[in-house]
Chains A and B, each alone.
Chain A
Amino acid sequence: MMHENVVKVGMADLNIASNGAILKTTGLGSCVGLTLFDERTKVAGMVHVMLPSSDIAREASINIAKYADTSIPHLINLMKQAGAEPRRFVAKMAGGAQMFAFTSNHDSMRIGPRNVESCKEMLKKYSIPLLAEDTGANYGRTVEFDSMTGMLLIRSVQQGVKEI
């Protein structure tokens, strides 16, 4: 067996990998793990989106990996630099859960679904087809993306393992 190379993607972080390396991000709750893939060049990218839009940022200098609207264009550029062709990109994503369900009118309680929506809007904007998603519900997910096969592996405590 080949030793698999795992590239970690932290919270509010993004990274790229290629030729069989695995992109991995752990403990997605309301955050979304979004992957882009160019099958021809085997270049993959993953972002761990924490918030839907940088419009709400109050940071002096924003962390572009944190927001759906800034991280996805940045990831596309990084992959382009690595030799991938954006016209061939396909996307998958997981996460965006509502970890706790209870009545509160606080906006941040619905952050999971808003993250998912915002990611979809960005994909539409860049005309990248969303091949598969495992989003919503009320449980956490750890995801691994295989840059050889384009398979997204999703692990959760309650639901076990699945591949999309």
Chain B
Amino acid sequence: MNPLHKLEAFKLDVLKEVGNIGAGNAATALSRLLDKPVDMNVPTVSLIPFEKVADRVGGFEQVVIAVFLRVEGDAPGNMFFLIEESSARKLLRGLLSMETSSEDGYSEMEYSALAEIGNILAGSYLSSLADFTQLYLSPTVPAIAIDMAGAILSYGLVQYGEMGDSALLIDTTFLEGREEMAGHFFLIPDPESFEKIFSALGVPNE
């Protein structure tokens, strides 16, 4: 049995708060970039079977833009910022006043703008998390891909694959104005990282 099944409600709440703080800072950063209010949903923390992870973003074959970075340091894990294509175009228009070139494909400039947005958001998520937990967390250079959500997310589940068929992830959705911007943050700490996060936050280990 996956040891994560044993996480009690209290610990899940702690992880939710961790997600809340990180994503809150990322939402503030995004709001500054766009010069518009950006809201976010309360993060969900759940142990999800691999098969269901991609459902969060519209299914395995849903095409998404993903910025991925590996978190190294005291509590390693994987981090994804995912947005749907329509939201990406909205972002580019809002941010750069770019009339997006074509419906199929992105210019070099648009591509690197999206990578940079992901970079800024992931960076602000992570640094607030590091401040809060006093853990040393260092992100790798982010990589960007436009592809099927299943192919992208499964890449972040490999560490879990060795111990079960589900992963614990912290998921936050962003909303811009009334419209759902359909931006998702997934933080997938490595299985070994949970104890470190809990002990950094003073949660007793029984």
Residues of A at the B interface (CB closer than 8 Å) are 10-12, 26-31, 50-51, 56-60, 63, 66, 97, 99-104, 106, 108-109, 111, 138-142, 156-158
Give the number of residues in B that approach A within 8 Å (Cβ atoms). Answer: 32
- Which secondary structure characterizes the binding site on chain B? mixed
Query: B141 to nearest A CB, angstroms?
Result: 6
| Given contact pairs A51-B162, A58-B163, A103 touches B148 in the complex (Cβ within 8 A) | no
With beta carbons under 8 angstroms apart, the residue of A50, A58, A103, A156 that contacts B158 is A50
Q: Give the A-B pair count, Cβ closer than 8 A.
A: 104
With beta carbons under 8 angstroms apart, the residue of A27, A59, A101, A108 that contacts B61 is A27
Q: Mark B154-194, 1 if CB is under 8 A from A, else 0.
A: 11001101111100000000000000000000000000000
B70:A106 contact, CB within 8 angstroms: yes
* Complex interface: chain B residues within 8 A of A101 (CB): 143
| Given contact pairs A58-B163, A103-B140, A51 touches B148 in the complex (Cβ within 8 A) | no
B61:A51 contact, CB within 8 angstroms: no
| Given contact pairs A27-B148, A59-B163, A157-B148, A108 touches B158 in the complex (Cβ within 8 A) | yes
* Complex interface: chain B residues within 8 A of A51 (CB): 158, 161-162
B140:A139 contact, CB within 8 angstroms: no
A29:B70 contact, CB within 8 angstroms: no
* Complex interface: chain B residues within 8 A of A103 (CB): 140-141
Query: Whole-angstrom distance between the alpha carbons of A10 and B129 in the complex?
Result: 34
Query: B54 to nearest A CB, angstroms?
Result: 6
Query: A157 to nearest B CB, angstroms?
Result: 5
Query: Whole-angstrom distance between the alpha carbons of A141 and B70 in the complex?
Result: 23
Query: Whole-angstrom distance between the alpha carbons of A104 and B164 in the complex?
Result: 24
A157:B63 contact, CB within 8 angstroms: yes
B162:A30 contact, CB within 8 angstroms: no
| Given contact pairs A63-B165, A108-B158, A157-B146, A12 touches B50 in the complex (Cβ within 8 A) | yes
Cβ of B150 within 8 Å of any chain A Cβ, yes or no, is: yes
* Complex interface: chain A residues within 8 A of B149 (CB): 27
* Complex interface: chain B residues within 8 A of A12 (CB): 50, 161, 165
Query: A57 to nearest B CB, angstroms?
Result: 6
* Complex interface: chain A residues within 8 A of B35 (CB): none
Query: A58 to nearest B CB, angstroms?
Result: 5
| Given contact pairs A10-B51, A27-B149, A50 touches B154 in the complex (Cβ within 8 A) | yes
Query: Whole-angstrom distance between the alpha carbons of A148 and B146 in the complex?
Result: 33
* Complex interface: chain B residues within 8 A of A109 (CB): 70
| Given contact pairs A106-B70, A108-B158, A140 touches B140 in the complex (Cβ within 8 A) | no
* Complex interface: chain A residues within 8 A of B154 (CB): 11, 27-31, 50
A30:B155 contact, CB within 8 angstroms: yes
B158:A111 contact, CB within 8 angstroms: yes
Query: B122 to nearest A CB, angstroms?
Result: 13
A27:B150 contact, CB within 8 angstroms: yes
Q: Could you list 18 further interchain pairs (A-B, Cβ under 8 angstroms) beyond the known A10-B51, A29-B151?
A: A12-B165, A27-B54, A28-B154, A29-B147, A29-B155, A30-B155, A31-B154, A60-B1, A63-B165, A100-B143, A100-B145, A103-B140, A104-B140, A108-B158, A109-B70, A111-B155, A140-B152, A157-B146
Query: B98 to nearest A CB, angstroms?
Result: 22
B50:A26 contact, CB within 8 angstroms: no
Query: Whole-angstrom distance between the alpha carbons of A97 and B150 in the complex?
Result: 13
